[in-house]
Amino acid sequence: MQADEQDCQDAIAFIQPDRVLTVNIKAAVLASEQALREAGIELSDFVRGNEKARERMKAQYSIAGMTKGVVVGTDHAAEAITGFFTKYGDGGTDINPIFPPEQTSGQTAAGPSRCPEHLYKKLPTADLEDDRPSLPDEVALGVTYENIDDYLEGKTLDPSIAKTIEAGI
C-alpha cells in the first residue's frame, strides 16, 4: 500500500466513479525482479521503482482493453522537459489532460472545481522508491516546478537552474 492511500481514497470520493478497481501489483513486481535476479541482474531501488510504474501501467491497459476504456495520465509539461517519468510506465498513457497547463497553474485550476484543497496542493511525489519513500519531485529534480514553469514560459532564470532543467534527470 502506498503512503498516500488516504489521498487516493479522498480523490475517489471526490470523483465519484461508477466503478473502482484495486489491483495489487506487488506479486508481479517481485516475480519480475526474481526473474532478473536469476539472470544475474540485481535491480537498484530506483530501477525497481520504475518496474512498479510499468507493472501498474500494464494493469491499467489490461483493464482499459477489457472495458473499452482509455488510460488517463497525470504527466505535465514540466515532467516532459525534464524526463521525469518512467518510459512505458506513467509516461505511456493514451491522454494527459493536464499536459498543457504547467504544474503550478494546474494546482490553481483544480481549486475552483471544489476538489479538496489537500489534494491539489499536495507536494508532488512519485513515491516509487523504497529507499527514499515520499521523496518530493522537486528534491529529485533539483529544481522547483515553478522554476520549470518559468523556463517553459521563456522567463530569465539563474543559469545554474536552466542548466539543471536542460540536463534532465
Do 47 and 53 contact (CB within 8 A), yes or no? no
* Per-residue pLDDT, 169: 62
Please give the average per-residue pLDDT across 23-27, as a whole number: 95
pTM: 0.77
SS (H, E, C) 70-112: CCECCCCHHHHHHCCCCCCCCCCCCECCCCCCCHHHHHHHHHH
Do 165 and 147 contact (CB within 8 A), yes or no? yes
Q: What is the pLDDT of residues 28-66, one digit of tens each?
A: 999 999 999 999 999 999 999 999 999 999 999 999 999
Please give the average per-residue pLDDT across 72-78, as a whole number: 82
For 120-133, letters b (16+ CB in 10 Å) and e give eeeebbbbbbeebe
Sequence-distant (≥ 6) Cβ neighbours of residue 107 within 8 angstroms:
120, 121
Specify the amino acid at residue 113: S
pLDDT band at 106 (very low <50, low <70, confident <90, very high): low
- What are the domain boundaries of the chain? 5-167
Q: In terms of C-beta density within 10 A (0-12 exposed, 13-18 middle, 19 or more buried), how is residue 161 classed?
A: middle
The CATH class, in words, for 5-167 is alpha beta
- Who has greater pLDDT, 119 or 33? 33
Residue 125's beta-bridge partner residues?
Answer: 136
Do 109 and 84 contact (CB within 8 A), yes or no? no
